[in-house]
Amino acid sequence: MNSINTRFTEVSNSIQTACQQCNRSPESVQLLAVSKTKPATAIRELYHLGQRDFGENYLQEALSKQQELADLPDLVWHFIGPIQSNKTRDIAQSFQWVHSLDREKVARRLSEQRPAHLPPLNVLIQVNIDDEQSKSGVHPDAIAALADFIVQQPQLQLRGLMTIPAAQVSDQQQQQSLQAMQRLFSQLASQYSTVDTLSMGMSNDLTEAIAAGSTLVRIGTALFGARTT
């Protein structure tokens, strides 16, 4: 069984290779370790290998890990799951990034509930690029209005877009979706100086996402092994 150390090296090498193939600097792509359902001990192990950014989907699980790892002060926590209105206070207080913002109501609550002594919460608009009924996210046509609302919230900082493209589609369809996201991101970045992050690409489509301009890849399985729950 591969160790986390080995898998971390392999993922880092995969990012570097993907960047070389499309003439990008490896420093232009950030690795987000998706640690949902994984123990705090695994996060600690990755931390000691140099990883700092971790993504969580489930709030109570994440809060428990944050408490257990409170001795690691420079951890950066990203909330990447669907956001229920009754969970916004804890998210606003305990995370530095949110990847899954898709409603004005949630944006307003996150800003109002972000403690004044903390810097603005970095947020990404989740885009449902393939218009899947089972997925959260805004339609591409709704990005502009939501972005305009977000930048008016004093305790939010608009940083870009996130997407989870459809699984089980042809390579051509996948490429079209990823390229469409890149165009939407470029358009948004031309309007707002704070926009610098395109969060797309996971363990199974890392190379394709980087080729399409992703600046942050969300990797779980390839780092931690198959999910246990």
pLDDT (tens digit per residue) in 69-107 = 999 989 999 999 999 999 999 999 999 999 999 999 999
CA distance 214 to 220: 17
Q: What is the mean pLDDT of the chain?
A: 95
E strand or H helix at 19, and its extent? helix 4-21
Beta-carbon contacts of 56 under 8 Å, excluding residues fewer than 6 positions away, are: 34, 35, 36, 62, 65, 77, 78, 79, 80, 81
Domain residue limits, the chain: 4-224
Say whether pLDDT at 229 is over 60: no
Say whether pLDDT at 1 is over 60: no
Q: What fold, for 4-224?
A: TIM Barrel (3.20.20)
Higher pLDDT pick, 227 / 5: 5
**C-alpha 183 chain-centroid distance:** 18
